[in-house]
A and B are shown apart, each in its own frame.
Chain A
Amino acid sequence: MLKVTIDNQTIEVEEGTTILQAARLIGGAIVPPAMCYYSKLKDSGGKCRTCLVKVAQGSSRDPRPMPKLVASCRTPVMDGMVVQNITSPEVIETRKAIVEFLLINHPLDCPVCDQAGECDLQNLSYQNGNEETRFEEAKRTFDVIDIGDNVQLHMNRCILCYRCVYTANQLTDKRVHGILYRGDVSEISTYIQTDISNDFSGNIIDVCPVGALTDKTFRFKNRVWFLKPMNASRSCTKCSGKVTAWMRGNEIYRVTGRKDQYGEVEEFICNECRFEKKAVSDWTIESPRNIKRASVISQNHYTRLKNPSVILPLEEKMGKSPYGETKSINDKQS
Chain B
Amino acid sequence: MDRKILLENIDIPGIQSFETFRSCGGYLAVEKALKTMAPDEITEEVKKSGLKGRGGAGFPAGMKWSFIDKKVDKPRYLICNADESEPGTFKDRYLMEKIPHLLIEGMICACYALGANTGYIYVRGEYKYIIGILNKAVREAYEAGFLGENILGTKFKLDIVVHSGAGAYICGEETALIESLEGKRGNPRIKPPFPALVGLYGSPTVVNNVETLANIGYIVNNGGEKYTQIGLGRSTGTKLISACGNINKPGVYEIELGVSVRDFIYSDQYCGGIKNNKELKAVIAGGSSVPILPKDLILKTASGEDRLMTYESLSDGGFVSGTMLGSGGFIVYDEDACIVRNTWNLTRFYHHESCGQCSPCREGTGWMENVLHRLENGEGRSKDIDLLVSIAAKIEGKTICPLGDASAWPVASAIRHFRHEFEFHVQHPEIVKNVNHGSLAKYVG
Contacts and interface: CB of A to CB of B under 8 A. Distances in A.
Interface of A: 45-49, 52, 68-69, 71, 74, 94, 97-98, 100-102, 104-105, 134-135, 137, 140, 159-160, 162, 178-179, 181-186
A183 B190 contact: no
A137 B356 contact: no
A134 B387 contact: yes
Contact of B356 (A48, A71, A186): A186
Q: Chain A: interface secondary structure?
A: loop
A182 B397 contact: no
Contacts of A179: 185, 356
Contacts of A68: 397-398
Contact of B362 (A74, A134, A135, A183): A183
Given A52-B398, A134-B387, A137-B370, A101 B356 contact: no
The 3 nearest A-B residue pairs measured at CB = A97-B394, A186-B356, A46-B190
A74 B192 CA distance: 9
B359 A98 contact: yes
Given A98-B360, A134-B387, A160-B356, A183 B168 contact: no
B352 interface: yes
B366 interface: yes
B361 to A, nearest CB: 9
B351 interface: yes
Contacts of B360: 49, 97-98, 101
A17 to B, nearest CB: 15
B397 to A, nearest CB: 5
B146 to A, nearest CB: 38
Contacts of B366: 140, 183-184
A184 B351 contact: yes
B190 A69 contact: no
Contacts, number: 85
22 contacts: A46-B190, A47-B357, A47-B400, A48-B358, A48-B359, A69-B398, A71-B190, A94-B398, A97-B360, A97-B394, A100-B394, A101-B362, A134-B387, A135-B367, A137-B370, A140-B366, A160-B357, A183-B355, A184-B351, A184-B356, A184-B363, A184-B365
Contact of B363 (A52, A104, A134, A181): A104
Given A47-B357, A69-B398, A160 B370 contact: no
Contacts of A186: 355-356, 362
A101 B364 contact: yes
Bin chain B's interface residue count. 20 to 34
B19 to A, nearest CB: 44
A9 B227 CA distance: 52
Of the listed residues A97, A135, A179, the one surrounded by the most CB atoms of chain B closer than 10 A to its CB is: A97
B399 A49 contact: yes
A182 B179 CA distance: 15
A210 to B, nearest CB: 12
A184 B354 contact: yes
Contacts of A184: 351, 354, 356, 362-363, 365-366
Given A47-B400, A160-B362, A182-B355, 8 more contacts: A46-B400, A48-B358, A49-B358, A97-B360, A101-B362, A101-B363, A183-B366, A184-B363
A16 B239 CA distance: 42
Contacts of B356: 160, 179, 181-186
B69 interface: no
A46 B398 CA distance: 11
A266 to B, nearest CB: 26
A182 B190 CA distance: 18
B354 A98 contact: no
A98 B398 contact: yes
Contacts of A52: 398
Contacts of B367: 101, 104, 135, 137
Interface in B362-384: 362-367, 370
A179 B186 CA distance: 11
B44 interface: no
Contacts of A94: 394, 398
Contacts of B140: none
Interface in B208-236: none
Interface in B139-168: 168
Nearest to B400: A46
Contacts of B353: 182-183
B359 A74 contact: no
Contacts of B390: 134
Nearest to A178: B185
Contacts of B351: 183-184
A160 B356 CA distance: 8
B239 to A, nearest CB: 26
